[in-house]
Amino acid sequence: MESTRLKRIVTGLVLVALAALPVFEPHQFVLHMLSLVAISATAALGLQLLLGFSGQLSIGQAAFYGIGAYASGLLSVKLGLPFIAAFVVAGVIAAAVSLVMVPITRLTGASLAVATLGFSILVYLVIKNEEWLTGGSFGLMGIPRASLFGYVLRSPASAYLLCVAVAATVYFSLLRLQRSRFGRAINAIRQNEDAARACGVKVTLLKSQCFVIAAFVAGLAGSLYAHQVRYLAPTDFTFWKSVEILIMVVIGGMGSLFGAVLGAAVVVLLPEVLREVGDYRMLAFGAILMLVMLFGEGGIAGFLEQCLKPFSKPRA
Amino acid sequence: MPEALLEAAGLSRRFGGLAAVDAVDLRVERGAIHGLIGPNGAGKTTLLNLVAGALGVTRGTVRFRGADITRWDAARRAQAGIRRTFQNLKLFAEMSAVENVSLGLHAGTRAGIFAALARTPGERREEQQIFAAAQRALEFVGLGSHAGVAAGKLPYGHRRLLEIARAFVAEPALLLLDEPAAGLNQTEAANLSRLIGRMREAGCTVVLVEHHMDVVMSVCDVITVLNYGRKLAEGRPAEIQRDAQVIEAYLGRGDAPPAGKNARAVA
């Protein structure tokens, strides 16, 4: 009980700090980077549900992220749809496309990982080669800024707040799911599929639902990305992006929503921080990833929880 | 003959060339505690898996409450009221005891993704009911004070009881217990016998696969003996103890007889 209260306090403080940040008028590059963290965190939260909760290893989330980004960008540029509509439809399209994953939910472990990776490569090639629709290697330009109710979010601060609001909404929604009948059932599937079946859990249905939710969330993140960066290139959505999202979840801590956010922050910000070391940037990045995994399976979130433990126990 | 709760006719299951279960007829009457015994490899667990839907049949039919359920998958059978435990415990090790039991109520409850996101009053009420029922089931098996403990951290005997609670919580019409006494000491086994009796009083029909002869002989109304995948004998415990074929099946393998006073386990 004490430990959940402490977590609530920490979560509340983090949220207040994030919302109040623009008051201190940080450099707009900082706000832009933090917006990208929030966008990546959103995609990582979706994968946390899929991998951390239901135990399905997908290396294909960039596909849905890319579909959401291009759907939102194209709907805005070619059809002139307002941002809100493009944003929601992008999520729905990504979710709809994820239904092709239903037949492969019977796969597990490495087979599932490779199948989703294959899907990621496929979507990248479609984006790259269907020039009539996506602009191909030239990319998609002229994507308008996000807007809400006719008010265009021109300032980096307002765009940042939008990204944080979406990430926070996804975070608390998935937290509710985690603590529900649905959340317990997918957790049960991860721990013992046979036993879940014997309890009457429709394993294939629930696994598919997880894919759809994760894809929907990745699609929303993609839409935010499109309107944040305002230029999309196929190279943003190679399988490396899928790997990045996977890294966020694993170093952040499997099964922890807070961990997914921390992992996103690390993966997005670390290369920037490491600019100092120039050519050795990615080398240092790789080494740090390995070090973090030495903390154990709990990742960064698990490590922090260990640190907080002495404070959360009621004194004897 | 009146309709039985469970009627399996000509059930067969082959693994490659081996007939693990071979043309077995099984009739389980409503309210009975029906024992399923036999030497190792006799096909007891396979037969249980066929009834639970964990394995598909090669031939034969399974009828439950008069309906042909042969093609139903395990989840659908669970929903219809057939619940089971596993020989090698399959718990959700990271979840607490009460959460494990709450899973047993998954099939009978409804709240889905949208209800959970909106925290509808119906969803909150259902969650309360689930956890209240799960707590009652824990108390029923004697684990009431362990609700918050992770299943993987419970001692072995408690884990066996927890699995029974998870199966029993849904008030199933048919409860399939796969060697629930395995690894239990004499006191725990006696407790288990009483628990099985109490579950019958609560309305469950029980099929009991068991090696522990004290348990089998004390609680079962009917015993079916399997050997090499075929039905060897069937009858009341006293009849089975005297059955020459049964004694030979056990003795012939150089094992202890099934009915000795101190025979804890056979085969």
Are residues B54 and A194, on separate chains, in Cβ contact within 8 Å? yes
CATH classification of the domain holding A139: 1.10.3470
Are residues A198 and B79, on separate chains, in Cβ contact within 8 Å? no
Confidence band, pLDDT 50/70/90 cuts, at residue A312 = low
Q: How far is CA A258 from CA A7, A217, A249, A262, in A?
A: 10, 16, 10, 6
Instruction: Determine what percent of chain A is predicted with pLDDT higher than 70.
Output: 97
> pTM for the complete prediction?
0.92
Position B265 scores a pLDDT of 41
Structure tokens at B148: 């918050």
Looking at the predicted structure, is the pLDDT value of residue A171 above 70? yes
Amino acid sitting at position B20: A
Are residues B123 and A180, on separate chains, in Cβ contact within 8 Å? yes
Position A2 scores a pLDDT of 60
Looking at the predicted structure, is the pLDDT value of residue A61 above 80? yes
Contacts of A184 in chain B (CB under 8 A): 95, 99, 102-103, 106
Contacts of B79 in chain A (CB under 8 A): 200
CA dist B149 and A38 (Å) reads 36
- Strand duo B174-178 + B82-84: pairing: parallel
CA distance, residue B110 to nearest chain A CA (Å): 9
Report the alpha-carbon angle B179-B182-B185, nearest 5.
Answer: 140
Are residues B95 and A191, on separate chains, in Cβ contact within 8 Å? yes
Q: How many helices (H) and strands (E) does chain A have?
A: 14, 2
More confident residue, A98 or A304: A98
Q: Which residues of chain B have pLDDT under 70?
A: 1-2, 251-267
A65-101: pLDDT as tens digits: 999 999 999 999 999 999 999 999 999 999 999 998 8
Amino acid sitting at position B162: L
Cβ atoms of B215 and B249 closer than 8 Å: no
Q: How far is CA A76 from CA A37, A79, A147, A220, B255, in A?
A: 23, 6, 11, 14, 78
**Per-residue buried b or exposed e for A198-220, using 16+ beta carbons within 10 Å of the residue's own CB:** bbbbbbbebbbbbbbbbbbbbbb
Contacts of A204 in chain B (CB under 8 A): none
Position A121 scores a pLDDT of 94
Chain A to chain B Cβ contacts (< 8 Å): 94
Confidence band, pLDDT 50/70/90 cuts, at residue A308 = confident
A216-264: pLDDT as tens digits: 999 999 999 999 999 999 999 999 999 999 999 999 999 999 999 999 9
Confidence band, pLDDT 50/70/90 cuts, at residue A150 = confident
Chain A residues with CB under 8 Å of a chain B CB are 173, 176-177, 180-185, 187-188, 191-192, 194-203, 209, 213
Position A277 scores a pLDDT of 80
Contacts of A183 in chain B (CB under 8 A): 116
Interface test with A, best of B69, B72, B103 (most A CBs within 10 A): B103
Average pLDDT over residues A123-131: 95
Are residues B54 and A183, on separate chains, in Cβ contact within 8 Å? no
Position A280 scores a pLDDT of 82
The helix-helix angle for A299-312 and A257-273 (nearest 10°) equals: 120
CA dist A69 and A141 (Å) reads 12
Domain range for A254 is 2-312
Position A5 scores a pLDDT of 84
CA dist B255 and B264 (Å) reads 12
Confidence band, pLDDT 50/70/90 cuts, at residue A1 = very low
Are residues B107 and A196, on separate chains, in Cβ contact within 8 Å? no
Dihedral Cα B49, B51, B53, B59, nearest 10 deg: 90
Contacts of B111 in chain A (CB under 8 A): 180-182
Per the DSSP assignment, residues forming a β-bridge with B15 are: B18
CA dist B21 and B229 (Å) reads 4
Position B266 scores a pLDDT of 40
Interface test with A, best of B73, B82, B90 (most A CBs within 10 A): B90
Cβ atoms of A105 and A211 closer than 8 Å: yes
The dihedral sign for the CA sequence B140, B144, B150, B153: negative
More confident residue, A8 or A157: A157
Confidence band, pLDDT 50/70/90 cuts, at residue A296 = confident
Query: CB neighbours of B91 closer than 8 A, spacing ≥ 6?
Result: A192, A195, B100, B151, B152, B159, B162, B163, B166
Are residues A176 and B117, on separate chains, in Cβ contact within 8 Å? yes
* All domains in chain B, ordered by first residue: 90-171 (3.40.50.300)
Interface ipTM > 0.85: yes
CA dist A230 and A153 (Å) reads 13
Contacts of A201 in chain B (CB under 8 A): 75, 103, 106-107
Are residues B78 and A197, on separate chains, in Cβ contact within 8 Å? yes
Position A284 scores a pLDDT of 86
Of A192, A194, A199, the CB nearest to B106: A199
Contacts of A203 in chain B (CB under 8 A): 75
Looking at the predicted structure, is the pLDDT value of residue A3 above 90? no
B173: exposed, middle or buried (C-beta count within 10 Å: 0-12, 13-18, 19+)? middle
Are residues A191 and B84, on separate chains, in Cβ contact within 8 Å? no
Nearest to B220 by CA among B25, B29, B5: B29
Position A105 scores a pLDDT of 83
Average pLDDT over residues A151-179: 95
Number of domains present in the structure of chain A: 1
Are residues A180 and B94, on separate chains, in Cβ contact within 8 Å? no
